[in-house]
Structure 1
């Protein structure tokens, strides 16, 4: 496993997510991120930002999602994510490495962020998306169950 390291310094890593209906894909990202840094800071997306950015409110309320992520042993620190601006997050947190899903790799947004972060000495690392589980899949399954239960009732 690669490890981001500057000689003699502690490496601070950063990743973000909604972490709605916490599942193995979330755990995989947090575990891999923590293996690649000395101190992992996780931004948990607020309900308001999720609604604005994704058009949906999480099923699990923000404060509960904070508690869940805070309880994960791979996580050293949790902060609210109130903006999608990763450079703003860097100014607040001061991380050395940022971890993101590989579905963003090669996009205009992340190509530009890679250049911006490189100037600041921040490395960008992409992790494979867990194909068999996602919050979107779980939400769809709950909807199907709810609709079939309503139709039966």
Structure 2
């Protein structure tokens, strides 16, 4: 039996790569049912000040096709507590590159108060959508 019943993670998942796959695989190893929030194009534009290369609808299709994912939802805002109120997950998985970030310290405090754990998963070094974009430019 896995330690958690309902897990949740989010991301942009633009230019899907092995780092994305690693997060999803490691998350699913720890929960029975994994929900993945995929950031909308508008949300990414708002907080990263750039548009994803792959449109939201297509990124959703890609994530739906991953065997570790049980359900995909659109992430229209970055408020993880609101996501919990809607989805009632008991664990949230986050890349460990966010550990100690003030945003996730606050999220962790909020979610811990309602019995939700945050599990930081190892970030895959040497790969990111930005790195992929830079390699394509060469």
TM-score by length of 2: 0.95
Q: Which residue of 2 aligns with 1:123?
A: 117
Give the aligned partner of residue 151 of structure 1: none
State the distance in 2 between where 1:88 and 1:22 align: 26
Q: How many residues align structurally?
A: 137
Which of 91, 100, 114 is matched with 2:94 structurally? Answer: 100
Partner of 1:61: 55
Question: What pairs with 1:49-88 in structure 2 (closer than 5 Å)?
Answer: 49-88=43-82
Map of 1:45 onto structure 2:
39
Partner of 2:25: 31
Quick check: 18-27 or 102-111, which moved more?
Answer: 102-111
Cα deviation, residue 119, structure 1: 1.1
Gaps of 5+ in 1: 6-10, 146-153
Structure 1 runs of 4+ with >6 Å offset: none
Match of residue 10, structure 2, among 11, 16, 41: 16
> What's the offset of the Cα at 1:128?
1.3
CA distance in 1, matches of 2:126, 2:113: 36
- TM norm structure 1: 0.86
Query: Which of structures 1 and 2 has the larger relative contact order (alpha carbons within 8 angstroms, sep 6+)?
Result: 2
**Structure 2: gaps of 5 or more residues:** none
Provide the C-alpha distance between the structure 1 equivalents of 2:46 and 2:96, rounded to a whole number of angstroms.
23
